Structure 1
Amino acid sequence: MRYYVIAGEHSGDMHGADLIRHIKLIDHHADFWSCGGEAMSKAIGKPCSVDGSKVAYMGIDFLKKWYTLWQLLKFCQKSLKHYQPAVVVLIDYSGFNMRLAAFAKKNGFLVHYYIPPKIWAHGPKRITKIKRNIDQVWSILPFEVGYYQEHGYHTIDYIGNPLVQKVGDHRINPSFMADNRLDYRPIIALLPGSRLDEIQRLLPLMVAQAAYFKSYQFVVAGLSVVPNRLYQALCPPTVQVIYDQTYDLMAVAKVAIIAAGTASLEAALFNLAQIVVYKLHPLGYFLYKSIITVEHISLVNLLMNQPIVPELIQYQLTDKKLHATLTNLLSGNGKAKQQAAYPTIRRLLGPQHAAETVARRILAQTKQPLQNQKNDGKKIR
Structure 2
Amino acid sequence: MSTSSLRIAIVVGEASGDILGAALMQALKTRHPQIEFIGIGGPRMLAEGMHCYFPQERLAVMGLVEVLGRLRELVKRRKQLVADLIAAKPDVVIGIDAPDFNLGLELAVRQAGIKTVHYVSPSVWAWRQKRVLKIRQACDLMLTLFPFEARFYEEHQVPVEFVGHSLADQVPLSVDQTAVRAELGLDPAQPVLALMPGSRGGEVERLGSLFFDTAERLRGEMPALQLVLPCATAERRSQLEAQLAGRDLPVQLLDGDTAKALTACDAVLIASGTATLEALLYRRPMVVAYRMAGLTYWLLRKLVKSPYISLPNLLAGEGLVPEILQEEATAERLAAEVKPLLQPCTQRDTLLARFAEIHLQLRRGAAERAADAVLRLIGRA
TM-score category by the smaller chain?
0.7 to 0.9
Runs (5+) with no aligned partner, structure 2: 1-5
- Aligned residues of 1:268 and 1:342 also touching (Cα < 8 A): yes
Q: Which residue of 1 aligns with 2:74?
A: 72
- Whether 1:307 and 2:319 are equivalent positions in the alignment is yes
Q: Distance in 2 between matches of 1:4 and 1:277?
A: 39
- Whether 1:248 and 2:260 are equivalent positions in the alignment is yes
Q: Which residue of 1 aligns with 2:229?
A: 220
Give runs of aligned pairs for residues 333-372 of structure 1, distance below 5 A: 335-349=348-362, 352-366=364-378
Q: Distance in 2 between matches of 1:174 and 1:329?
A: 19
Q: Distance in 2 between matches of 1:314 and 1:104?
A: 43
Q: Which residue of 2 aligns with 1:378?
A: none
Q: Distance in 1 between matches of 2:207 and 2:101?
A: 24
Q: Distance in 2 between matches of 1:257 and 1:43?
A: 37
Give runs of aligned pairs for residues 248-287 of structure 1, distance below 5 A: 248-287=260-299
Return closer, same or farther for 1:210/1:74 CA change in 2, 3 Å cut-off. farther
> Which entry has the higher C-alpha Rg, 1 or 2?
2
C-alpha RMSD of the superposition: 3.3
- Whether 1:168 and 2:172 are equivalent positions in the alignment is yes
Q: Distance in 2 between matches of 1:24 and 1:35?
A: 16
Give runs of aligned pairs for residues 79-228 of structure 1, distance below 5 A: 79-83=81-85, 84=88, 85-153=90-158, 155-168=159-172, 176-177=180-181, 179-182=183-186, 185-214=190-219, 215-223=224-232, 226=233, 228=234
Q: Distance in 2 between matches of 1:43 and 1:191?
A: 33
Return closer, same or farther for 1:363/1:255 CA change in 2, 3 Å cut-off. same
Percent identity over paired residues: 28
With the length of structure 2 as denominator, give the TM-score of the two structures: 0.81
Give runs of aligned pairs for residues 20-31 of structure 1, distance below 5 A: 20-28=25-33, 29-31=35-37
Quick one: which amino acid aligns to residue 221 of structure 1? P
- Aligned residues of 1:207 and 1:218 also touching (Cα < 8 A): no
Q: CA deviation at 1:81?
A: 2.4
Q: Which residue of 1 aligns with 2:237?
A: 231
Find the partner of 1:63 among 53, 62, 65: 65
Q: Distance in 2 between matches of 1:323 and 1:69?
A: 44
Q: Distance in 2 between matches of 1:86 and 1:110?
A: 7
Q: CA deviation at 1:165?
A: 1.3
Q: Which residue of 2 aligns with 1:17?
A: 22
Return closer, same or farther for 1:7/1:326 CA change in 2, 3 Å cut-off. farther
Q: Distance in 1 between matches of 2:59 and 2:333?
A: 33
Q: Distance in 2 between matches of 1:320 and 1:178?
A: 31
Q: CA deviation at 1:136?
A: 0.5
